[in-house]
Amino acid sequence: MNLVEKILARASGKDSVRPGDVVVADVDRLVMHDLSAYLTSKVYEDRIGTELPYPDRVVTVFDHHFSPPTEHQADVLNLNREWSRRRGTRLFDCGSGNIHNVLMQNGLALPGQIVVGSDSHTPVHGTVGALAVALGNDSHAGTVMPFGKAWFRVPELVQIELSGDLRPGTTPRDVALWLVKELGEGSVIYKALEFTGPFIKNLDFWDRWLFPVLSVDLGAKCAYIEPDEVTRQFVKTLPGSTLDGLVNGDGDPVDDVRRFEDVRGSASLIHDATVLYASAAGGWRNAAQSVPVNADESRFYYVQLGVSRQWLASGKTTFYVDRGVYKNFNVGEILSISPDKDEVPWGTLVDTEVRRWGLGLEQAVDAANLLLYAQAHFYDPSIAGFPCTFDKDPKVCGGDPSQTSKLPAASWQGVVVGARIQF
């Protein structure tokens, strides 16, 4: 079973559950904000109105209308305060913070728990390894408040695997936004999402938080990250926290896996009889790692063609010509804007292509297991971006992709000399 199935099985008193099963499970936490608490408590009092059996499971956070902008909202807050006091539930008043951050930072959403809430971003608590689901006000009033329970249909799992590193100027938030575009809004309706892969595993807790929070936009029922050492260390910092409920999935094979990763490779060939030398290398990165170069993807390749032969006694000599293209690749490091404009319009680049050609010479020194090499390259960049108006203060850069234009960029030359020891 995966993490969601294990949590649902335990909370519904079953040995195992499968996708499609409908279970009634014990809920550990109900969290509402000021608007939904008002509506939910109204439904509860109108239709049921008995003592709450588990008042400590119900949490309200005032975060939507604080301080109240209108008299009506001030009245709503007062009704919430009065209800919370009367029913003995926990209240975080104006100024405490955003509902989800308050819940998490107060140790009220923990690994293995079932958290339900009225805010559509409630699945964010899957970051800690909880099963967190957004329900409606009537479900909260009808089953969670009076019985501490809710019904769930066990969702199918979709694994989203991310690998690779961030480019300079890019943050996990950029990756998360890109991911929504890649997967598509409403593309995984009622699925459980597991975010995994080396990229996710290397993030700290609050960066991981950015992924389950977007599950509502994808249409998912819930999302989570398997609890690991990062999770454990984070949970230990929370007040009154416990890892007792922590569960991990069994790691069973998943049918639906979406992988997003780098591809790189190279090959070379030396044909002794004809002294022909040929080498090729290429790479591809997905769009997340191309930000802020706002392109669909980035790729590079180069080919080298030449001769390789033992002319000298010391070892083989190789001579080749080289041709390469870098499309939206490593431009942040090599970008060169014309010297009369010292402002580099960072974040406004849209499309870059750098073509290179060059010559290379390699000499092996077999006795020392040494390879000496020298390369000379000529780079010709073509860089497009939003035009910036530099005579205004503050500088204004366009944001309309249809208005991109070629930016001034100078070509440049590069010489590389080096040695490789082979062992």
Binding site for other proteins (CB under 8 A): 66-71, 73-75, 77-78, 81, 93-95
User: Given the complex with other proteins, which of 69 and 251 has the nearer CB atom?
Assistant: 69
Least Å distance between CB 65 and other proteins?
A: 9
Q: Which residue has the tokens 């431009």?
A: 331
Which residue's CB is nearer to other proteins, number 93 or number 353?
93
Query: Nearest approach, Cβ of 407 to other proteins (angstroms)?
Result: 25
Q: How far is the CB of 330 from other proteins (least distance, A)?
A: 37
Relative to beta strand 149-153, strand 157-162 is: unpaired
- Pairwise CA distance, residues 180 & 188, whole Å: 11
Pairwise CA distance, residues 357 & 122, whole Å: 53
Q: What is the DSSP letter of 6?
A: H
Judged by beta carbon, residue 92 or residue 326, the one nearer other proteins is: 92
Closer CB to other proteins, 82 or 366, in the complex? 82
CB of 420 to other proteins, least distance (A): 53
E-assigned strand segments in 56-148? 58-61, 90-92, 114-117, 131-134
Total residue count of the chain as it appears in this document: 423
Minimum CB–partner distance for residue 78 and other proteins (Å): 4
Instruction: Name the helix (H) or strand (E) containing 82.
Output: helix 71-87
| Contact status, residue 226 vs residue 129, Cβ threshold 8 Å | yes
Partners of 263 in beta bridges: 284
Q: How far is the CB of 207 from other proteins (least distance, A)?
A: 25
Q: CB-wise, 75 or 204, nearer to other proteins? A: 75
Instruction: Tell me how many degrees the CA angle 232-133-83 measures, rounded to the nearest 5.
Output: 100
3-state DSSP helix/strand/coil % of the chain, to nearest 5: 30, 35, 35
d(CA 204, CA 326): 32
Q: What is the CA radius of gyration of the chain?
A: 29
Closest CB 94 distance from other proteins, rounded Å: 5
Structural contact between residues 337 and 349, judged by C-beta atoms closer than 8 angstroms = no
Angle at 27 between CA 21 and CA 30, to 5 degrees: 125
Please identify, using beta-carbon distances, which residue of 15 and 71 lies nearer to other proteins: 71
Cβ closest to other proteins, residue 75 vs residue 165 = 75
CB of 33 to other proteins, least distance (A): 16
Residue 145 phi/psi, 5-degree rounding, is -65, -50
**Shortest spacing between CB 87 and other proteins, in angstroms:** 16
Query: Which lies closer to other proteins via its Cβ, residue 77 or residue 288?
Result: 77
Q: Between 73 and 363, name the residue whose CB sits nearer to other proteins.
A: 73
Phi, psi of 287 (to 5 degrees): -65, -30
For residue 389, how many other CB atoms are within 10 A of its CB? 11
- Of 84 and 304, the one with the shorter C-beta distance to other proteins is 84
Structure tokens at 85: 């006091």
Q: How far is the CB of 10 from other proteins (least distance, A)?
A: 37
Smallest separation, CB 195 to other proteins (Å): 33
Alpha-carbon separation of residue 238 from 205, 225, 380 (angstroms): 12, 18, 54
Cα-Cα-Cα-Cα dihedral sign, residues 383, 287, 334, 356:
negative
Number of neighbouring beta carbons within 10 Å of residue 47: 11
Q: Which of 41, 43, 45 is nearest to 58 (CA)?
A: 41
Q: Which is nearer to other proteins, 78 or 237 (CB)?
A: 78
